[in-house]
Amino acid sequence: MWDAAFDGLALIVQWPAGGYLLLGLAIGMYFGAVPGLSGLVGMAILLPFTFGMEPAWAFAFLMGMYSITTTSDTISSVLLGIPGTAASQATILDGYPLAQKGQASRAFGAAFTVSAVGGVLGALVLALSIPIVRPLILSFASPEFFMLGLLALTMVGALSGSSILKGLIAAILGLVLAMIGYSPEGAIPRYAFDTTYLIDGLPLIPFVLGLFALPELLELAVRDTSISRIPREQAKTGLLMGMIDAVRNWWLVVRCTLIGVYIGLLPGVGGSLVDWVAYGHVVQSSKEKSGFGKGDIRGVIAPETANNAMKGGSLIPTIAFAVPGSASMAILLVAFEIQGLEPGPQLLTTKLDITFSLIWALALGNILGAVFLLIWGRQVAKLTFIRGHLIVPAITMFVFMGAWLTGNGLGDWFTLIFAGILGYVMKQSGWPRPPVILGFILGTIMEVSLHISMRSYDYSWLGRPIVLILAVLIVLGLFIGVRGMLRRRAAPAGVQIDDSAAQNPALSLPFAVLMLAALVYGLVQAAEWHHAARFFPFIVMITGIPLVLVVMFHDWSDIRLRIRQSVSIAGDAHDRKLLLSGAHYFAWMFAILVATVLIGQFLAIVVFVPAYLWYWGGYSWRLFVPYAAGAAVFLYVMFEQIVPVFWYESLIFS
């Protein structure tokens, strides 16, 4: 085994494998940092380039790219409050508030350090555990996957703001949105409203970008402030402080590494769940919880450790049993086929040196990637002190094109904008957004797992040992959440995993009414389907309706109390101005759609840049002309030459 380990290292460090590793790292930094791109997109794009390569070269190239995406995705999560990939959603909860405090460098220092440690430890666990993981993987079947998803939803819901009920309802909203399209059982179209676009379901990337990115861009545009809320000269902390934070929390790093590896072992779960489980763990295991959601460095360390360690774990079932631990690992299986390699006994015996080359590539990629990002992070952090109007056009371009990559159609932009409106309303009315995304991601997994469990075990699966353990953890998580909520009401300084605005019952109540109408409509529609297609929707709707009614009662009681105390229920003048400005901002977003139809997608985005800088920022042509030219060059190089897309042609120009 030691001989194979050294042979694998030699395969990676010798030329040109080492060069391919560095090239993959450079590409992976970009794909992780830009919202809408991801390791999955990068793997798919790079895969054709591996034809004709030696196995070690090909895997150095692919693993170099793959290893760093969950490290560089921290950049957009911290700077913009936009998850760079699905694995960095929880990072925004404390990473973005740190950036608003002028401590982006500190967040980067901690995140990049623990990412390297988590990635290396994950690779080490992979190397040591290949012979013994089979019983661990096989212990999880459909019942356990369903309960694991339920645990994640209740954990995130229980940590959501000042209302557990709102967090759970937001998770239910995510489950409802996941039901759009064909049902897993019976192939019945559900909630598609007879539109071809929705028949295959709501696309994830435009929805995530809209829910998180557009509300933050709106705030930058309306407030005309930098991301940091304090001047640059007052920002005392830096990368070194973040690295020290990582060392101080070494035991948390170890625990979250183990969480990441184990979640990575579970096929099909991977990055969509691991950061939430790690974040929930650090919150519930910490004695001092008041800083979470407001810029606690531990809220960055936990998910960033776990999502990098997860990659080593996801390689284990891929290499040992040809069962992809994530979607990216499914592409890696294709790479194995291209190279004539068969996962399983071959990669664990005669080709063990190739397996170790994968492990070394993952470990070296994490180390080198973290070093590069630590060197570069100080410069990136300076973006937090730039005036917001200079940032908004560039980020808007990234967000719109990131959404476009999903299906190359205007439907993805409609999804982006409507998700942005939903996210903006939720943020202003005090409803947490993270549970929506988690419910949306886990909805199909949970529904399929529940159907298989019922067919295979009837109701006897409820007595399986691991199911009972997970059920106890769910009850314990809800108990801790309720206790924390009661403590926050007594001393309101507790944990809040979302940056939703101050509680506004005048906005919260109408949103709750809309939620109730949506759940009732979903229940009525589901009654017309056969049992298999309506089983899961019935459970979700019937669970959500009474929860919404309770929230409506509380909001109405709060409104009546404010009226009796002569307190404004519509917020102050600033809140009302923000609402009107929000409508103005989204009108500009719809204008991009109209311009795309009239003059074409490329020109619409390029024209938006100077128009925004002139109208919103008040800048002269000396700034917006070169800015627009740079945007045009970037669009052409990136989306015409590197990642070719189908541009939407105009009515006026061909």
Q: Are residues 396 and 486 in the same domain?
A: yes
**Does residue 326 belong to any structural domain of this protein?**
yes
**Does residue 332 belong to any structural domain of this protein?**
yes
Q: Are residues 6 and 117 in the same domain?
A: yes
On the CB side of 243, CA atoms within 13 Å amount to 12
Q: Are residues 227 and 351 in the same domain?
A: yes
Cβ within 8 Å of residue 324, ≥6 positions away: 267, 268, 314, 317, 318, 330, 332, 333
**Does residue 522 belong to any structural domain of this protein?**
no
Residue where one domain finishes, among candidates 503, 527, 544: 503
Contact (CB, 8 A) for 393 and 623: no
Q: Are residues 460 and 597 in the same domain?
A: no
Q: Would you state the pLDDT for residue 498?
A: 47
| Terminal Cα distance for the chain, rounded | 61
Q: Are residues 146 and 271 in the same domain?
A: yes
**Does residue 535 belong to any structural domain of this protein?**
no
- Cα dihedral angle (553, 559, 564, 566), rounded to 10 degrees? 170
Low-confidence ranges of the chain (pLDDT < 70): 1-8, 33-48, 51-52, 80, 84-87, 126-127, 129-139, 156-162, 224-238, 265-273, 317, 320-328, 330-331, 333-334, 342-351, 377-386, 388, 480-481, 484-503, 566-578, 654
Q: Which two tokens stand for residue 206?
A: 């435009």
User: How big is the CA angle at 420 (ends 419 and 424), to the nearest 5 degrees?
Assistant: 120
**Does residue 538 belong to any structural domain of this protein?**
no
Torsion angles phi and psi, residue 579, rounded to 5: -65, -45
Cβ within 8 Å of residue 570, ≥6 positions away: 506, 576
Q: Residue 585 belongs to what domain range?
A: 573-642
Q: Are residues 486 and 595 in the same domain?
A: no
* Single-letter amino acid code for the residue at 354: I
The dihedral region occupied by 58, where left means phi > 0, alpha psi between -120 and 50, and beta the remainder, is alpha
Q: Which two tokens stand for residue 348?
A: 């664990």
pTM (two decimals):
0.70
Q: Would you state the pLDDT for residue 205?
A: 74
- CA gap 648, 51 in Å, rounded: 31
Cα dist from 425 to 158, 293, 321, 507, 579, whole Å: 21, 19, 45, 8, 9
Q: Which two tokens stand for residue 167?
A: 């967090």
**224 SS3 class:** coil
What is the 8-class DSSP label of residue 340?
T
Q: Would you state the pLDDT for residue 162?
A: 56
Q: Specify the residue for token string 């390791």.
A: 39
Report the chain's C-alpha Rg in angstroms: 24
Residue where one domain finishes, among candidates 451, 486, 503: 503
- CA gap 283, 480 in Å, rounded: 10
Q: Are residues 585 and 492 in the same domain?
A: no
Q: Would you state the pLDDT for residue 624?
A: 82
Peptide linkage before 16 cis (omega within 30 of 0): yes
Q: Are residues 444 and 593 in the same domain?
A: no
**Chain-centroid distance, C-alpha 265:** 19
**Chain-centroid distance, C-alpha 284:** 21
Contact (CB, 8 A) for 213 and 89: no
Q: Would you state the pLDDT for residue 117?
A: 82
Contact (CB, 8 A) for 69 and 28: yes
Cα dist from 584 to 112, 295, 416, 455, 591, whole Å: 38, 30, 17, 51, 11
Q: Are residues 437 and 582 in the same domain?
A: no
- CA gap 163, 159 in Å, rounded: 8
Q: Which of 391, 413, 415 is nearest to 401 (CA)?
A: 413
- CA gap 606, 594 in Å, rounded: 14
User: How big is the CA angle at 257 (ends 255 and 260), to the nearest 5 degrees?
Assistant: 115
- CA gap 606, 599 in Å, rounded: 11
Helix axis angle for 2-13 and 55-72, nearest 10°, is: 80
**189 SS3 class:** strand
**Does residue 654 belong to any structural domain of this protein?**
no
Q: Specify the residue for token string 């891929």.
A: 318
Helix and strand totals (H; E) in the chain: 27, 2
Contact (CB, 8 A) for 152 and 489: no
**Does residue 462 belong to any structural domain of this protein?**
yes
DSSP-assigned letters across all residues of 551-566: HHHHHHHHHHHHHHTT
* Single-letter amino acid code for the residue at 374: L
Q: Are residues 145 and 18 in the same domain?
A: yes
Q: Specify the residue for token string 């009401």.
A: 489
Residue where one domain finishes, among candidates 486, 503, 520: 503
> Kind and range of the H or E element at 182?
strand 181-182
- CA gap 402, 443 in Å, rounded: 23
Q: Are residues 480 and 593 in the same domain?
A: no
**Does residue 551 belong to any structural domain of this protein?**
no
Q: Specify the residue for token string 């080709």.
A: 351
Q: Are residues 287 and 368 in the same domain?
A: yes
Torsion angles phi and psi, residue 179, rounded to 5: -80, -10
Torsion angles phi and psi, residue 37, rounded to 5: -90, 170
Q: Would you state the pLDDT for residue 519?
A: 93
Q: Would you state the pLDDT for residue 548?
A: 92
Over the stretch 85-136, which tens digit does the pLDDT of each residue have? 666 777 888 888 887 777 777 888 888 888 888 877 877 776 676 566 556 5
Q: How many domains does the chain have?
A: 2
